[in-house]
Amino acid sequence: MSIEQHIRKFAYPIAILFPWLLTPIAFLIADYLPDTNVQLLYLVMVVFISINVTVELAIINALSSFFAYSFFFAEPDGSILIHGPEDLFTILLFVFSSVIVGYIATKQKRNVQKIREREFMTDIELELLEELPKAQNTEEVIAAMRDALKPWRENCVLITDADNWVTHPMIRRLTNLRKTYLEELLKLRLTPEVIEKIPALEREHDVYFLYNSQQVIGLLRIATENIQYLPKDIFLLLLRQVNISLERTRLAADLEKEKTAKENELLRSALLSSVSHDFRTPLTTMIGATSTVIEFGEHLDKQQTRELLDTVLEEAQRLNRYTQNLLDMTRLGFGQLQLECDWVSVEEIMGVVKKRLRPLLIHNYLKEDIDPDLPPLYVHAALLEQAIFNVVDNAIKFSPVNESIDIHCSKEDDRMVITICDQGTGIPEEERQKVFERFHTAEKGDRRRSGSGLGLTICQGMIMAHGGSVSIHGNPKRLWDKTNPGCCVRIELPVTIAIEQQDIGKSEE
């Protein structure tokens, strides 16, 4: 029990007895002060009571003060009867002072209390309104509401499926039938007709609904009459803001689901397009070689037959690599890519890439510049080959006829840097980060308009899986050309891991 509650409990005894307890002090100073000052002593006490308690108690205190003064200090001694006009004037002065001062003090206290209530509610309102826009889902909205209700936790209960609300004191007092009604309200399926009935349901069951346009999220049971600092109009306004936030998060979640579904559909279409494109050429070659052997096998010598069968084997192996790369790319999208690393030189990687690019280099050519004495890389060779192939293939599609694709490999500090530059239309600076986004296809630059928009995304994922990075820059050799400024893709891979592994291998030997 607080000090204020203790004071209220003993207010009447204090108001009656306090003047009589003050009398011994009045006796001590009565010999040194005029009688009027003794009256002022009692009057000061009346004013003090008037300021700190109600007007009713102040009047009781004023009457008790007069009788104490009359009994001990007024003629005749030992009597509380009024014997003269001056005694009547004294009692009127005490009562009038207590009423006036008490009224002014009470009015002032109420104004101060209203200001404090408003400040208190404003702080809660601002805090809640600051948290609600940040909420990303329903759980965060409910958590913000729960935090706002903490000052009144004893007089309110938030009822949701995730809470053990039946143990709250406000719920324990309810009958089992009313508890059952609350459980049914939580499971209520909302339709436009049901939503219109919510105000009536709130009045019937003495609860407030927390809901969006599709479902009931929770119920709030609160005893507003027992809460000193909770104006009902402000509370209802905050409750409305919470329901608006619940609808906003629902719409955001639905939009995210729709976006994810659309991306998955685009991914399926892109993968189907990529698979059909990458598989068509080797399959066509295999079908042609096999048909030739079957139809003209008797007219072919051993060397021709061997060349055709070698072609079939080579294309079958190529298909196998495509399939494995496709599986790796799928794992990359789900964060399940397992790197099967081995030692490989940059020259070996570039040799395989050039062989795969040979059918594509019809109108362009490669220029290699590989620094000597480069350390070997400890990488997943097939993934690195595919990453470089994607970049070069992208550069070929937008390079002018008879122009070169420049590849430079060097070591910078503890990084292996592979730079692939073309002389095409380039990528605007504001688009250079976006081209790594899934399905993004720039209208201008080193991207095929009809492409899936996955090439550079897959490249970045493969390189990052090795602890490296991919970035896009302008071609420094073509800054003078505004039409075809070119573009450089910079691939960086760590070589410190390779050196450490190499040292371990030597020590084991």
**1 compared with 459, residue with greater pLDDT:** 459
Q: Where do the domains of the chain lie? A: 3-127, 137-230, 257-333, 342-507
Q: What is the mean pLDDT of residues 367-371?
A: 92
Topology classification of domain 257-333: Helix Hairpins (1.10.287)
| Cα(174)–Cα(166) distance, integer angstroms | 10
For residue 76, is the peptide bond before it cis, meaning its omega torsion is within 30 degrees of 0?
Answer: yes
Chain segment 142-181, per-residue pLDDT in tens: 988 888 888 888 888 888 888 788 888 888 888 888 888 8
Sign of CA pseudo-dihedral 427, 431, 432, 437 = negative
Q: Kindly indicate the confidence band of residue 313, based on its pLDDT and cuts at 50, 70 and 90.
A: confident
pLDDT at 349 (0 to 100): 92
**270 compared with 488, residue with greater pLDDT:** 488
pLDDT at 509 (0 to 100): 44
301, pLDDT greater than 80: yes
pLDDT at 90 (0 to 100): 66
| Cα(455)–Cα(445) distance, integer angstroms | 14
Q: What is the mean pLDDT of residues 102-119?
A: 75
Chain segment 200-245, per-residue pLDDT in tens: 998 888 899 999 988 999 999 888 776 666 667 777 888 888 999 9
pLDDT at 492 (0 to 100): 94
Ramachandran category for residue 439: left, alpha or beta (phi over 0 → left; psi -120 to 50 → alpha): left
Q: Kindly indicate the confidence band of residue 78, based on its pLDDT and cuts at 50, 70 and 90.
A: low
Q: What is the mean pLDDT of residues 346-350?
A: 92
| Burial of 336: CB neighbours in 10 Å, binned 0-12, 13-18, 19+ | exposed
| Burial of 94: CB neighbours in 10 Å, binned 0-12, 13-18, 19+ | buried
Neighbours of 365 (CB within 10 A): 12
Query: For residue 215, what are the β-bridge partners?
Result: 189
pLDDT at 237 (0 to 100): 82
The token pair that represents 161 in the structure block: 């499926």
| Burial of 301: CB neighbours in 10 Å, binned 0-12, 13-18, 19+ | exposed
Q: Kindly indicate the confidence band of residue 111, based on its pLDDT and cuts at 50, 70 and 90.
A: confident
458 contacts 270 by C-beta, under 8 angstroms:
no
pLDDT at 348 (0 to 100): 92
105 contacts 51 by C-beta, under 8 angstroms:
yes
270, pLDDT greater than 70: no
499, pLDDT greater than 70: no
**302 compared with 109, residue with greater pLDDT:** 302
Q: Which strands form 156-159's sheet, in the order they lie side by side? A: 156-159, 216-222, 208-211
The token pair that represents 157 in the structure block: 């209960």
pLDDT at 244 (0 to 100): 92
For a pLDDT cut of 90, what percent of the chain falls above it? Answer: 13
Q: What is the mean pLDDT of residues 447-454?
A: 45
Q: What is the mean pLDDT of residues 269-274?
A: 66
pLDDT at 91 (0 to 100): 65
257, pLDDT greater than 60: yes
Topology classification of domain 342-507: Heat Shock Protein 90 (3.30.565)
pLDDT at 500 (0 to 100): 47
The token pair that represents 225 in the structure block: 């009459």
Sign of CA pseudo-dihedral 149, 151, 153, 155 = negative
The token pair that represents 317 in the structure block: 């192996």
